[in-house]
Amino acid sequence: MVVSVVILLLLANVHFSHGGCPEGYHAAGHLCLFFSEITGTWAEANSYCRTFSASLFEPNSDERQKAVVTALQTVPAPSHGEFFIGGSDFFVEGHWIWSTESVPVTNSHWLPGNPSDSNIGEDCMAVSAGGQWNDIACDRHLPFICETEPWGDVDIIG
């Protein structure tokens, strides 16, 4: 037990910084947010986050929405103007869900006139540099936002 705690602390020193967040993440409220520089489709973005034990960011509460708006002010605006986040309506048109738990999206920070499902359909959620949401085609290539929990918020079971 003592040994495992020491190992955890060593890992913490090596891999965690920025308010208990992994390297490259921004501390944002009770979250760690990663703003990618690379771009991908929504599915690629989702896989990328999961590869790093994170998930596409889900602004499913006022607190989380405020956290991303604040964090967006400190990162360079993407050349594409928007980042993919973890909402979609690709199973049932117009029925938006947060993908991790497949729960309905009940809050709303959509850009005026959205979700628009424009052209041949827009089924994936993105967030603008100003923090408002837009539905966009899932096969577009955008940078994206991953979320994970800060080190201090992880329960240590032992």
Write out the residues near Ca ion by the rule CB under 5 A: 89, 114, 116-117, 122-123, 134-135
Give min distance, CB of 123 to Ca ion, in A.
4
The CA distance from 124 to 135, in Å, is 5
Q: Which is nearer to Ca ion, 99 or 148 (CB)?
A: 99
Secondary structure in 3-state letters for 35-83: ECCCCECHHHHHHHHHHCCCEECCCCCHHHHHHHHHHHCCCCCCCCCEE
Q: Of 58 and 67, which has the nearer Cβ to Ca ion?
A: 58
In whole angstroms, how close is the CB of 122 to Ca ion at the nearest point?
A: 5
Q: Report phi then psi at 146, rounded to 5.
A: -100, 150
**Closest CB to Ca ion among 28 and 45?**
45
| Closest distance to Ca ion from the beta carbon of 115 (Å) | 6
